[in-house]
Structure 1
Amino acid sequence: MTGSPEEVLAAVVRPGMRVVVGDGAGAPTHLLGPLTRVARDVGNISLLLGWCLDLPDDFDPSAFADVRTVMSGFALRGMVADGSVRYVPERWTAVPALLHGPLRPDVAILALRPVVGGWSWGSEVSWMRSLLDLPDIVVLVDENEGLPRASLAESVPRERGTVIARSARPPIDNPRRPPEDLHLRIAAHVAPYVPVGARLQYGPGPIADALAALIEVPVSVRSGMLTDAVLTLEQRGLLLGDPFGAYLWGTEALYDWADGRDVVGRVERTHVTALDDPAPVVTLNAALEVDHTGGVNVEALGPRAVSGLGGHPDFALTGHLSRRGVSIIATSTRRGSTSTLVERLSAPASTARSDVDIVVTELGAADLRGRSDGERREALLAIWTP
């Protein structure tokens, strides 16, 4: 099949179909413009999106019968807020089940890197690999030579897909910034909970960057997202083996470093981890709000969409169940003039209080393990009060 992206889509898409577009830093979101025009012409097309870091100006949700995403916030924040995109609050480990069940797609648009005999995955694999387990799905490939080849274990044979576009677009850059004093103070209270040889998971952001700059013990990394924090650990001689995650998101240095390594994989490998792992699992994640019992909100501030569930509840549970590990939530005490400790969350709880072991702020750490709700409240108030 040859032709422009619009011509290829017009030959494939039919009324009543659902189209899913791959996500991440290397996502083929530039094809949402042609898809919009085809959807408007064909009619009754549904669209499923994931973690979108950018969107083209010619993407229009109104051209579709239905648009849903499994990750709120980021480039979709305004569209989720105005209702033109419906956010499905689902943990990342369950996304493959959705794709094989109620949100089963007919067509997938994926960004892949060309190799002999087909394509390799680029800066992400995540839930997208499960699409290939659907025998009848039509796979349209944005053949992108600008992606790193960061997955050696997984490949896509040429007969499995059809090229819809060719490009050399690098993954989206996430500029590396030195941690601020606030983040270093928070990380200093996290560091004592990271033992030698721990398997570390972290949510992307300045607190994880600060922790990578501060800890003095070697760790391995298995995380939903790999950022430049792994480069910091390697440069300091503290990274045990190759890290492994579902996505890469960082600077050109990270993408260059990952090229030719097997460091990204499917969500069934990155987010579902064996509970008999001999290494202590330490999970570090952020919060928009923490309630007085330790429940966590990461999705919205009242009506304002900020992010999605992602792997937050998956990894918090994994750390909590690790016999020698721990589930840590780290946040600053205030966001502007507003306290991040609240009596009642302003949005549904993203991670249950039962899966939170330690809460850390710049003022200290509260160990909630084995404590009643009343004792949790006292411990949390102590690290929010100067």
Structure 2
Amino acid sequence: MDEAVSMLADRIEPGDHVWWQQGPSEAITLIDGLLRLCEERESEEPVHAFSGLSLNPRFGEPLPAGIDLTSYGAMGTLRSAAGAGRLGIVPCHYSAVPRLFAHRRLGADVALLQVSAPDDTGQVSFGVSADYGADLLEHSRVLLAEVNHAVPFNPHATTLSLASLDAYIETHRPLPENSVRTPDAVDLAIAGSIAELIPNGSTVQAGVGSLPNAIYGALQGHSELGIHSGVIADPILDLIDSGVITNSRKEIDRGVSVGAMALGHRELYESLPHRSSIRFRETTYTHNPAVLSRLGSLVAVNAALQVDLNGQVNAEMVDGRYLGGIGGQADFARAASATGTLSIIALRSTSRSGSTIVPALSGGFVATGRPDVDVVVTENGVADLRGLTHSQRAAALIGIADPEQCESLHSALGEQHSPSLPRTPRLAMSSHSS
């Protein structure tokens, strides 16, 4: 029995509820040890585990019967577990995750943490995050850690005392990186249209991936932007270094880019301790409606799998396959539309499953409701839905769909003729306005 399995076996009982951090903060050595322990205990009551976004390749393999795995979505390598029927999805806003644990709707008996080596005062750091992990510490009976010497000690992330840990092992394992393809012509076309919608001085929220990377790249001509987002991604560093992101006009956290976690490459992770203008905060802050409502400059840019002709957004499932989750999309979209500046949904007009502008969402799953969607953007243009009736919204969305799908979309509406609305409705705001 190796060191990780031995430590876990002494402290995790059958039926316990275990959670771990997500993304590059995953305690992969401990998680893999837990899976081996569950294989050994296969005939006993399963361990109940909660995971967020995973970059752990082990979840691409069959899971032992001795673990019952739950998440708020099928992100990263968890898609494989979802496809195999081994992942339970809790459909909730990301802002609700800490509250579900606080109210014991989800269990937190044992935490599996990844932390840095201690500093001179005996403090260890999450290094590249705060996120829900910072919120769940107080609800956990046992704190077990992988002290990973590859994790940078970052005073701008969550820190805790090494002495507060019940047990730990030491490793030197590179943090998993989030590799995405280079943005293509379609990504760049969408990004260019979105950049025209974002005024100078905006506080921007966007995700990670090829399209968000393209969107950040398209903002190089802007000025005085701020960041308040769930994720700090690689391109944000370029915008900070070029003087585009200054956070000088944010209503709160002025001068500071705020995120829940970093997700990118090694250069991003290693630079964070030296960048006091990037701070990681717990989910109960980054996604808190009361906090977001104070950001009148907020522009939220979120991706979708599908948008229906009412403007409702599916970010979870297509063709019976769970590919994502509600996540923080609705948290930010609602705030940006109601008390901020603009809520934007971005997507390619087609996917492997066909048109992404659809008469009805796959499975009927709605991640973000139509009142919280101001603008939808594809490579074919911009549909500004603000102030439009149901029929006008449908016409505007058909106008940015794949041209080969427009006739079938009209037929689905029972229309005999194409509505006489312009392909790209006139926008209320001018580009690069101050």
Specify the TM-score bucket, using the shorter chain as the normaliser: over 0.9
Residue from 71, 74, 80 that aligns with 1:72: 74
Once the two structures are overlaid, the 10-residue window that deviates more, 172-181 or 205-214, is 172-181
Q: Which residue of 2 aligns with 1:83?
A: 85
Paired residue type of 2:346: A
Instruction: Give, in angstroms, the shift of residue 90 of structure 1.
Output: 1.7
**Residue of structure 2 equivalent to 1:332:** 348
1:205 aligns with 2:205: no
| Contact map agreement 2:146 2:168 (CA 8 A) in 1 | yes
Q: Which sits farther off after the overlay, 40-49 or 15-24? A: 40-49
Does the 8 A contact of 2:158 with 2:280 survive in 1?
no
Contact 1:121/1:151 (<8 A) preserved: no
2:38 partner letter: A
Change (3 A) 1:345 1:278: closer
Q: Which moved more, 1:56-65 or 1:271-280?
A: 56-65
Give the counterpart of 2:337 among 295, 303, 320. 320
CA contact (8 A) 1:36 1:63 kept: no
Which is greater in Rg?
A: 2
Query: Which is further off, 205-214 or 305-314?
Result: 205-214
Conserved? CA contact 1:124–1:264, under 8 Å: yes
Q: Which of these residues, 227, 230, 233, is aligned with residue 236 of structure 2?
A: 230
Amino acid at match of 1:5: A
Identify the residue that residue 180 of structure 1 maps to in structure 2: 184
CA contact (8 A) 1:182 1:362 kept: yes
Task: Say if 2:145 is the partner of 1:146.
Answer: no
- Give the equivalent residue in structure 2 for 1:11: 10
Please report how far the alpha carbon of residue 176 of structure 1 lies from its aligned counterpart in structure 2 after TM superposition: 6.4
Q: Distance in 1 between matches of 2:88 and 2:34?
A: 18
* 1:59 CA displacement: 7.1
Secondary structure of the 1:36 match is helix
Distance 2:293 2:94 in 1: 21
CA separation in 2, counterparts of 1:38 and 1:337?
39
Query: After alignment, is 36-45 or 178-187 more displaced?
Result: 36-45
Amino acid at match of 2:172: A
Give the Cα–Cα distance (whole angstroms) in 2 for the partners of residues 200 and 150 of structure 1: 24
| Structure 2: runs of 5 or more not aligned | 247-254, 404-434
Partner of 1:356: 373
Cα pair 1:107 1:138 within 8 Å, conserved: yes
Q: Secondary structure at the match of 1:62?
A: coil
Alpha-carbon distance in 1 for matches of 2:35, 2:350? 41
Paired residues of 1:112 and 1:143 also in contact (CA < 8 A)? yes
Letter in 1 for 2:281: G
Determine if the alignment matches structure 1 residue 344 to structure 2 residue 360.
yes
1:187 maps to a residue whose letter is A
Change in CA separation of 1:65 and 1:111 when aligned onto 2, cut-off 3 Å: closer
Provide closer, same or farther for how the CA distance between residues 202 and 31 of structure 1 changes in structure 2, counting only shifts above 3 A: same
Q: Which residue does the alignment assign to 1:99?
A: 101
Q: Retained in 1: the 8 A contact 2:183–2:210?
A: yes
**Structure 1, 7-16 or 234-243: larger mean CA deviation:** 234-243
**Structure 2 CA distance for partners of 1:155 and 1:255, relative to 1, 3 Å:** same
Partners of 2:155 and 2:281 lie apart in 1 by 6
Task: Count residues in correspondence.
Answer: 382
SS of aligned partner of 2:269? helix
One-letter amino acid of the structure 2 residue matched with residue 212 of structure 1 = Y
- Select 1:125's aligned residue among 104, 125, 130: 130
Deviation string, structure 1 residues 23-50 (Cα, Å, up to 9, x no partner): 1123112322321232344532222211
1:247 maps to 261
Q: Do the aligned partners of residues 31 and 263 (structure 1) sit closer, same or farther apart at CA in structure 2, a change above 3 Å counting?
A: same
Counterpart-to-counterpart distance in 2, 1:60 and 1:10? 21
Cα deviation for residue 57 of structure 1 reads 7.4
Question: Residues 271 and 315 of structure 1 are in contact (CA less than 8 Å); yes or no, is this contact kept in structure 2?
Answer: yes
> Judging changes above 3 Å, is the alpha-carbon distance between structure 1 residues 292 and 276 closer, same or farther for their aligned structure 2 residues?
closer
CA 1:151–1:332: 2 relative to 1, 3 Å: farther
Q: Which residue of 2 aligns with 1:220?
A: 226
1:36 maps to what in 2? 35
Per-residue deviation, 1:223: 0.8
Q: Which has the higher contact order (CA 8 A, sep 6+)?
A: 1
Cross-structure match for 1:367? 384
Does the C-alpha gap of structure 1 residues 379 and 102 become closer, same or farther in structure 2, counting only changes over 3 Å? same
CA contact (8 A) 2:157 2:280 kept: no
For the aligned residue pairs, the C-alpha RMSD in angstroms reads: 2.2
- 1:265 equivalenced with 2:268 (yes/no): no
Higher mean displacement: 141-150 or 218-227:
141-150
Q: Is the CA contact 1:37–1:63 (under 8 Å) kept in the aligned structure 2?
A: no
- Aligned residue among 112, 124, 140 for 2:115: 112
Q: Measure how far apart 1:336 and its partner are.
A: 4.2
Runs of 4+ in 1 over 4 A off after TM superposition: 57-60
Deviation at 1:121, TM superposition (A): 1.3
8 Å contact from structure 1 (residues 142, 164) kept in 2: yes
Name which of structure 1's ranges 32-41 and 280-289 shifts more when overlaid on structure 2. 32-41
Q: 1:364 to 1:167 in 2, by over 3 A?
A: same
Q: Please give the per-residue CA displacement for 1:182-233, whole angstroms capped at 9, x wherever unaligned.
A: 1111111111221111100001122222222222222111111111120221
| Cα pair 2:29 2:146 within 8 Å, conserved | no
Return the TM-score normalized by structure 2: 0.82
For the residues of structure 1 that align with 2:318 and 2:128, how far apart are their CA atoms?
Answer: 30
Cα 1:151–1:170, aligned 2, differ >3 Å: closer, same or farther? farther
Note the C-alpha offset of 1:169.
1.9
SS of the aligned residue for 1:56 comes to helix
Query: 2: distance between equivalents of 1:23 and 1:263?
Result: 17
Q: Which residue does 2:298 correspond to in 1? A: 281
Secondary structure in structure 1 of the residue aligned to 2:73: coil
The CA deviation at 1:275 is 4.8
